[in-house]
Every structure is written in structure tokens, then in C-alpha cells.
Structure 1
């Protein structure tokens, strides 16, 4: 599944973007598409905790709030593909910067053909990056005929529960059948096994409380440390 977020005050333009994405996706991929439309900053703030689960976002840079939203999205999701739509009278210095790192840019006024070309190129680059062995590593989950591609950088931790693996991404979780032993061999050095039921991403660790046998994550989630894996966790201190 490809999840896409669009933040804009221009509803007609949002609809055009959505229709374009749907048409192109139906042509170039079999992945399902989840498209979420946001029209105001308050709704965006309510969505902040789930930003790590989005693959692509489109931001209409019309004011400081829109720029703040793009920066927040990038902060929460380092691997998200971000597309910027902006007026020509807005200085590029406002949105071409490391805190946003846009993957695509579209300037107004634009035609349907221009929009289609930019979105097509963006989607192809996304699929090339996460469908091949090159580029950033990602966990590919096959479940009930659906495929979910989750970049390693978005995974907070993995938990073994009820004979299934639960992949925690922000406030969402994805489940499928596998074992932590198998995943431990597959995942890179950015992950550490801390318990027979948990593997944690080092990127999301806020602090380690060895005396309490706990790992505290950036969102204050508590992950247990078992005696068998305590020596591994000690190396991170």
C-alpha cells in the first residue's frame, strides 16, 4: 500500500492531485493507495503522530503554517517523499532547505500535463527506491494479498505477540507472520534485540534505564530488557 497525504487550502487543486495520483498508480503499480486530504493546520496537527506511516506528501506552500507543516512532516518521517506546490512569487529559500528536503517541485500556474509529469516522476522514483534492492532498506510485509513497504527508518520497534510480528510505526502497527529470530538476521545494525519479544530501533531510543530493565523511546513507550539481552543493551550506554 502507498499512503499519501495532501495538505492544501485549495480543495479543487487537491482533488486534481488525487485524481492524477490514482490514475498514474493504476497504471504503474498494483499497490493499493491510501489518500488523505487535509485543508487546515489544526487538522494537520491532529495527524502529526501518524506522520511516520505516510510514504508521500504534497504540501501547498501558501503561508508560514504550510511551511511549518512540511518541516514537521520531514522531522517525523526522514524517508518521506515530499512534493511542494508553490507560487512563483514565494522565494525558493522558503521551501528549498534541509528542514524540508523536497523530492519534487511544481510552480503555479501549471497545467494538468505538468502536474501529471511531476507526480508520475515522483511515484516512479518512490517505487524504484522501495521495490528494488538499491536505496534505503525497507521491510516488505505481505498480508492477505496486500503488500506494505515500511522503510527501516520509520520502524520504532517490532514485537512478537500471539505468534505474529507487530511492526510499530508511530501510532500504527502492522502485523504479519514471521519470527524475531529471522528478523534479527535480516535487520541492520540500527536495530537491537533487547528481549525475546522485542527488537528496537536505535534511532528512537530516548534513554536506557538498566536498573529498571527498561528502554524509553522518544514517544515515552516503555520496552522491557530481559536478562538474556541485557549485555547487548549495555553496549549502547
Structure 2
């Protein structure tokens, strides 16, 4: 079940968002419900002490510097799989959305069509995640005369180096094979991994920052990799930048 919290400091916007989201839930028969709507982030904090939620529509500003971001940071620390969606007129806060791994960033005024697309994406992702979490995901690769089985959740980055493909893992280990990136990409769950360059595939959960000026992705593990022009539009779609 998707338990939705809406926190918006403008009462008119809060009422509008609540009404639109409720209509979308009913129209698409989504397994979802609004559990809290408020103009006060402190009420959200109090609510979460004794209740659970996994979808958060947040205004990142709240008339106080970065307070919406602070709330999002707290949510992310306690719930690594929460869906955080920023709805704001302050586009300069976009990079903050990456730091808390926001699912979406919607500039005001947001339309019902955009909200519906976002909720449908969340629902699909949630269903896929439940399916994926119910069974271990393995990637089998051929290494010389042997076959190695890797937990896909341990993969941070895959890169093409000359004639080899190098798989970087969370424990700083590496696996080298000769499988094309296209083959490995087809074997990975698309909701967790993304092609960002002709020579790179990244695990989205490790993305810390996307620098669109320098066309670089910085990962939590210290790795960085380039963004290819061919893949940039698709990459940024995941964060509603375009």
C-alpha cells in the first residue's frame, strides 16, 4: 500500500494537490491512500513518530531556508525506500533533490497530468520493487573458463575499458568480463540501473550528484563517470529536470 503524505505551506495549493491526488487514486484504482495533509512540517514529524508513510509530496521551501529539504533528509535517513517528490517554484533547489535521492522534482504550477504520470510511475516502481525484493537478483557473467554469479544490488558501476567490461562492486572488488554493455544492461533491473554513457552503466541508488554543467555523475562510493550526450535526456527524465 502506498501511504501518502502531502506537506505544502500554501493552504490553497495543499487543498488542490490533495483533491487531484485523491482523484488520480480513484480513477486508476491505485493501491494508495492519503494518510496526512498538512501545512506544517512539525505535524509531519509528529505523525511519523507513530505512523508509517512511504510517499511524500513536499514543498522544499516552506518559507524557511531548506526546511523542506531538512525534512526530506530526515525521511531518507529513516526510510531508504521512501518516494520523495518535491513540488516547488524554486528550481535552484534541484541539486538538493539528488542528495536525498528524490523520486521526482515537479516545478510549480504542476498539472494534474504531471501528477498522474508521477503517481503511476511510483505505483509501477513500488509493484516492481515488491516483486524484486521477494527474490534475489543475480547476474551471471563469464570470466575466462568460469562463470561468476553476482548480486546485482552489489554493483555500483559498470564500465567498458578497451576490450573488457569491468564491474565495480560495493566492497571495492572488481569483476572483468567480455560481455557487451548492451547484454549486461538487458540483464539488470531497469528501475535500479541506468545507462549514462556509451561506456558506463550506474546503479541509481549510489548517485550522489549529477553535474549537468560538467556532464559528470558523482557516486557515494567516490567514483565519478561522464554523461554522454546521447543518454543525458533519458537520465535527467528520472528527476523531471526536463
**TM-score, reference length from structure 1:** 0.49
